[in-house]
A and B are shown apart, each in its own frame.
Chain A
Amino acid sequence: MTDSKYFTTTKKGEIFELKAELNSDKKEKKKEAVKKVIASMTVGKDVSALFPDVVNCMQTDNLELKKLVYLYLMNYAKSQPDMAIMAVNTFVKDCEDPNPLIRALAVRTMGCIRVDKITEYLCEPLRKCLKDEDPYVRKTAAVCVAKLHDINAQLVEDQGFLDTLKDLISDSNPMVVANAVAALSEIAESHPNSNLLDLNPQTINKLLTALNECTEWGQIFILDCLANYTPRDDRESQSICERVTPRLSHANSAVVLSAVKVLMKFMEMLPKDLDYYGTLLKKLAPPLVTLLSAEPELQYVALRNINLIVQRRPEILKHEMKVFFVKYNDPIYVKLEKLDIMIRLASQANIAQVLAELKEYATEVDVDFVRKAVRAIGRCAIKVEQSAERCVSTLLDLIQTKVNYVVQEAIVVIKDIFRKYPNKYESVIATLCENLDSLDEPEARAAMIWIVGEYAERIDNADELLESFLEGFHDESTQVQLQLLTAIVKLFLKKPTETQELVQQVLSLATQDSDNPDLRDRGYIYWRLLSTDPVAAKEVVLAEKPLISEETDLIEPTLLEELICHIGTLASVYHKPPSAFVEGSRGVQHKRLPGSAGSGESVDSPDPASAAGVTEAPPAVIPSQGDLLGDLLNLDLTPPTATGPPPAPSSGMQLGAMDLLGGGLDSLMGDESEPLGGDIGGSAAMGAGFGAAPAAMPASFNAPVSGGLDDLFDLGGSVGMPMGAYSPPKTVWLPAMKAKGLEISGTFARRAGVIQMEMTLTNKAMSVMTDFAIQFNRNSFGLAPAGPLQVLTPLSPNQSIEVSLPLSTVGPVMKMEPLTNLQVAVKNNIDVFYFSCQYPISMLFVEDGKMERQVFLATWKDIPNDNESQFQIKDCHLNSDAASNKLQGSNVFTIAKRTVEGQDMLYQSTKLTNGIWVLAELRVQAGNPNYTVSLKCRAPEVSQCVFQSYEAMLKN
């Protein structure tokens, strides 16, 4: 007989019948009845009406019956809270049972009953169970604390359960340790700033000991916890790695991946010349390969993580290309991931193999996969220069197959190859043109049109080809229309005599018959350019294009670093930082890879402050496809105050034309209604309009605000003269190679209450740079340029200029990660460049940040203790007065000072530009170079930044 019999009674009086059976005297009948109830429950039937009858069965010696009743209780107690109280007595009694299995079961079940009234009764039994003599009960109780915390966090804290839980980390039984760690980790997730898992070398040692002896699941919890620790030095790092490595041979893939995470993170601290470093690298490859022979779901997660690992440390898997070859019956999600990794691992050594495989894939059945395979061939060509020729011929072979989507995909990637290796493979254009008619996807059509326009001079019938597209102009997608417009203008500039009619046709189609503003704008720009000065037009439209590189599909380095710290998590599957998507994780702490010991990192910045924190993060170069880009592109690059182009008459027409593309177009567009058509070659009216632009420039430029160290601050205190605001040394924000020769290094300073962005612009290119403009993306504190970027003279090659840009804090606000991140776009006559930098938060400390003593006291008490965070500042050799002086220079005001047992306590207040107050207690002990700072703030997210500023200000 099987359990299916429990499902068969579906007649009307079912509940009634069950009720009678539950109240039967016969044990056997009772148990059968409870089973029937449970079976109904599992398929979603409502049997809550039987609550009192089922609870009556709870007091029994029969363990199975008891468990079944518990199952029922967990499901329905929430909907019947008053009745659930009836069960409390039995629970409390069971917690005293001589059998540890019953004790554990009782405390476990009680924790699952999510009813407030019951949780009060749970505290005493739970406290006993946490100290139970039997480890099985203790480990069950540890998890129960997490359950209770989920229901009533305050209760758990008030009852001191968290401390008991912390004590359990030192328990003699490894399973208890593992569960305590798991419970604490879960609780810590909802309290990101609490130091629940206070990791120090002693606790780490305990965890590592428990790691060897606990179950596989416990190992995962412990390894994930270890990954949050930052070792003190490379020796500690190595010893942890040594003790974690055996986990790589575990049968459970989750254990393996968590171990990989710990190793990948701690490896950063090992010197690269160490023998052990090489050994470790070798040890990492086999377990990763093994993950790929597991079930497809496991493979998928493993592959997403391997994708990160090969970007960070390609050397680990460089010889393992073959394991990523696709089997034809792999699920599609595995195929696509494998393909991506194959490209990342592609190198000159293995490119022949990879290409042969990709070509094979391009003949498969699955369309998505085939497309991606064709694209992959293009990416290989761009990545491995030596292979480009072979890739192109492979693509041509594929075009010969005439399979429609293969041809289209191939044309899209060939366009990219042209952009990487100009003037090399144009011989294939003829073949491409043969397939013109079969292209029906916008992307492929746009790519083909681009090719025809770009190489119009080599295609005899380019005009005919483009004209054929023009016939259905209005039915094309915007992408194709824009491409077509540009291509025809290019064609005209190359062969002006034959194509005059064509260009007029497309311009009028774009400007008069189109509803799309982008298309219209582009049409007008070309029109005016052509009519004003064809020479300038040529320079603009046919300008040399930047080469594309394979870096575009790499993950941005800082994000990659963070993701490496999150290997094995959902973040690593989605390649997004955890803060971006996990619900309920308020202010997730950003994780960073630890810096390597003794590496040449600080060579270019000898200043100790740069290592200390403020400038710790190298400015990240934003890849062109980041989501930031969209944001920045939507901004009008030239702020309204700088509509006029700078006075640079020497550079003449070309500059004017450039400016037309950037800014003050609107003013010129007033006479939009009368088409300036036909007479290309410069109408007088147009010329005048054009010339008027410089005249419209604002008459007076504000003189750059002078840096004012000598500016007096409102001292208002008893502590001597301040020494001026701290400003970090300049760092390179935008390297020349990323910005076509423009190098920007800079820093931030606060002078006379004004935040200044101080930059050095260096022209490392061969041509003159002009027309600078700057714009910020939305940021945490609403920083925005208060005026235009003042570069008065054109910047000649090899010239540097110092610029000081005053900033206001009234711009649009958006929370950034990290908080003080600022994303900037700078434009010049060559292009628009994007970079991001971080400003020290001390720039935002305002001058009136001194709080009244009473207010300070009240506020300090008022802010909940949760918001307090404590930091250590090491090796600071100032006495308390000097420190106070130094901080005051940066608008950190000392309100009071107290001396207790030779320890000076400074109470300080600071106000940020957006009105956030930060209160601080700085403890300085004479003769001890280590300060302790406790920060309290209503917005605890800023604490970390403020602390970093403290450290930077004090050490400078």
Chain B
Amino acid sequence: MIHSLFLVNASGDIFLEKHWKSVVSRSVCDYFFEAQERATEPENVPPVIPTPHHYLISVLRHRIYFVAVIQSEVPPLFVIEFLHRVVDTFQDYFGVCTEAAIKDNVVVVYELLEEMLDNGFPLATESNILKELIKPPTILRTMVNTITGLTNVGEQLPTGQLSVVPWRRTGVKYTNNEAYFDVVEEIDAIIDKSGSTITAEIQGVIDACVKLTGMPDLTLSFMNPRLLDDVSFHPCVRFKRWEAERILSFIPPDGNFRLLSYHVSSQNLVAIPVYVKHNITFREGSSQGRFDLTLGPKQTMGKAVESVLVSSQLPRGVLNANLNPSQGTYTFDPVTKLLSWDVGKINPQKLPSLKGTMSLQAGASKPDENPTINIQFKIQQMAISGLKVNRLDMYGEKYKPFKGIKYMTKAGKFQVRT
């Protein structure tokens, strides 16, 4: 099981270590640093690194490496999942997961890590339970604690931990009972030079914020549940009921949680909400290149495409870019060669464009690689897969909750090759 955990910052310093069994010397991280040095980019450090006596399994999040040390055969996914859970918990507790935040809350961090893992076995990883055991630090609570002498640590056994619904705490009370669901879909796509789709898939999630008194039992049904053939559920969802009736039936955790995530595969037809017309050319022998990019909406069911951000890694030979955006602003970093253009909202009547020239090193041969264009965007009130919630019902409690549902589509890894 997991032996130790080291947190390493971007400059390669270990700023926190935690051991669950015997102490492993921090020199074990030298192997990690070696791998880090070899990797060209921070994210290219391999996630599993063997050393003579241990294995190092790491994840990189928020520019911090979480390096777990293991000694025996342990499923690596188990370790990686756990590390991600640690990061999520930190973020949940401190709002952000940065070196500063962790250092500022080092005692809470230690208490959390101790509570999450016992001898390398996961103990309590549900945020609901952890929050009952260890109260998240808030300015108000810190002040109250200093005045009254109370502590951050709960005195009671977390009740949820042993019930049949371990994810929900008992005795929940709200004056306003509300349940909100966000259907968020990210579209991943690769579009080739000519504009045709090579692959496109949708990663969807339904995130919920449920603040309901007592032990509500909810059912959520869809207009078109057939779309969901590849789903991962929160443990609260009754799988049998889904299999038989395609209805989500569950007793929700208290607060924010991810009800399900789903995947609409590349085999289904996926609508592509934007198109790009591009013309990026370099001529042999000339020290100038042409850059011409136009964006336009398609298949958006009349909804506006917003928060559009275009970025592209231009070839190394490009010295500078002199471009003219029809709207928004653009930047070009001559060191990293990253071009980014903050477009904003696409107006279908007047399509945004970015045109101009790129200057190349004089005398250099024309670059070999073609830049790929990365596009980010958001479309409100639409799920691109067409998924629609039919109704939400509550059983087990008498009051009438307030219900709400929101849809949104975002670009995930949306890439256009040129």
Residue positions of A touching B, CB distance < 8 A: 1-4, 6-7, 27-28, 31, 35, 38-39, 42-44, 62-65, 67-68, 71, 75, 78, 99-101, 108, 111-112, 114, 134-136, 140, 143-144, 146-147, 150, 173, 175, 179, 182-183, 186, 189, 213, 215-217, 220, 224, 246, 249-254, 256-258, 286-287, 289-290, 293, 295-298, 300-302, 319-320, 322-323, 325, 327-329, 331-333, 353, 356-357, 360, 363-366, 401, 403, 568-571, 573-574, 578, 581-585
Q: Mark B237-261, 1 if CB is under 8 A from A, else 0.
A: 0011001000000000000001011
Q: How many residue pairs, one in A and one in B, have C-beta atoms under 8 Å apart? A: 260
Q: Of B23, B59, B125, B192, which contacts A217 at CB under 8 A?
A: B125
- Asked if A186 and B15 sit within 8 Å, CB to CB, the answer is no
Apart from the given pairs A136-B162, A333-B47, 12 other A-B contacts in the complex at a CB distance below 8 Å: A1-B142, A44-B17, A63-B153, A71-B110, A150-B21, A189-B72, A257-B77, A290-B263, A323-B199, A328-B415, A329-B374, A329-B415
Given the known inter-chain contacts A42-B106, A286-B263, A569-B76, please indicate yes or no for A252 contacting B164, CB distance below 8 A. no
In the complex, which residues 102-123 of chain B have their Cβ closer than 8 Å to any Cβ of chain A?
103-108, 110-111, 114, 118-119, 121-122
Task: List, in ascending order, chain B residues with CB within 8 A of A215's CB.
Answer: 122, 125-126, 166, 235
Closest to A212 in B: B239
Task: List, in ascending order, chain B residues with CB within 8 A of A401's CB.
Answer: 368
- Asked if A99 and B265 sit within 8 Å, CB to CB, the answer is no
Decide yes or no whether B222 CB sits under 8 A from chain A: no
Q: Of B105, B122, B265, which contacts A3 at CB under 8 A?
A: B105
Q: How far is the CA of A28 from the CA of B149 in the complex (A)?
A: 7
Q: Of B73, B76, B146, B240, which contacts A585 at CB under 8 A?
A: B73
- Asked if A327 and B190 sit within 8 Å, CB to CB, the answer is yes
Given the known inter-chain contacts A257-B75, A300-B47, A568-B77, please indicate yes or no for A71 contacting B114, CB distance below 8 A. yes
Task: List, in ascending order, chain B residues with CB within 8 A of A289's CB.
Answer: 230, 263, 265
Decide yes or no whether B16 CB sits under 8 A from chain A: yes
Report the minimal beta-carbon distance from A558 to chain B, rounded to whole angstroms.
20
Q: How far is the CA of A654 from the CA of B40 in the complex (A)?
A: 56
Decide yes or no whether B234 CB sits under 8 A from chain A: yes
- Asked if A35 and B107 sit within 8 Å, CB to CB, the answer is yes
- Asked if A64 and B152 sit within 8 Å, CB to CB, the answer is yes
Report the minimal beta-carbon distance from A491 to chain B, rounded to whole angstroms.
35
Q: How far is the CA of A196 from the CA of B313 in the complex (A)?
A: 57
- Asked if B415 and A327 sit within 8 Å, CB to CB, the answer is yes
Closest to A39 in B: B106
**15 A-B residue pairs with CB within 8 Å:** A3-B108, A42-B18, A62-B151, A71-B110, A186-B72, A189-B72, A189-B73, A215-B122, A251-B233, A254-B78, A301-B76, A320-B266, A320-B267, A571-B73, A573-B76
- Asked if A67 and B73 sit within 8 Å, CB to CB, the answer is no
Report the minimal beta-carbon distance from B33 to chain A, rounded to whole angstroms.
17
Q: How far is the CA of A63 from the CA of B17 in the complex (A)?
A: 24
Q: How far is the CA of A657 from the CA of B348 in the complex (A)?
A: 81
- Asked if B157 and A329 sit within 8 Å, CB to CB, the answer is no
Report the minimal beta-carbon distance from B157 to chain A, rounded to whole angstroms.
4
Task: List, in ascending order, chain A residues with CB within 8 A of B281's CB.
Answer: none
Chain B interface main SS type:
mixed
Report the minimal beta-carbon distance from B195 to chain A, rounded to whole angstroms.
15
Q: How far is the CA of A290 from the CA of B228 in the complex (A)?
A: 12
- Asked if B73 and A569 sit within 8 Å, CB to CB, the answer is yes
Q: Of B44, B108, B199, B368, which contacts A322 at CB under 8 A?
A: B199
Given the known inter-chain contacts A42-B16, A286-B265, A329-B413, please indicate yes or no for A114 contacting B22, CB distance below 8 A. yes
Q: How far is the CA of A250 from the CA of B235 in the complex (A)?
A: 7
Of the candidate stretches B48-56, B301-309, B323-331, B356-364, the one touching chain A is B48-56
- Asked if A296 and B43 sit within 8 Å, CB to CB, the answer is yes
Q: How far is the CA of A327 from the CA of B265 in the complex (A)?
A: 16
Report the minimal beta-carbon distance from A314 to chain B, rounded to whole angstroms.
17
Specify which of B21, B40, B232, B243 lies most central, judged by the most chain A CB atoms within 10 Å of its CB.
Answer: B232
Task: List, in ascending order, chain A residues with CB within 8 A of B154's CB.
Answer: 63
- Asked if B156 and A101 sit within 8 Å, CB to CB, the answer is yes
In the complex, which residues 196-239 of chain B have their Cβ closer than 8 Å to any Cβ of chain A?
198-199, 201, 203, 229-235, 239
Q: Which 8 A-B pairs rank lowest in CB-CB distance, beginning with the nearest?
A: A286-B230, A2-B104, A64-B153, A297-B47, A254-B77, A64-B151, A217-B122, A322-B199
Task: List, in ascending order, chain B residues with CB within 8 A of A298's CB.
Answer: 77, 80-81
Given the known inter-chain contacts A136-B157, A289-B263, A332-B44, please indicate yes or no for A220 contacting B78, CB distance below 8 A. yes
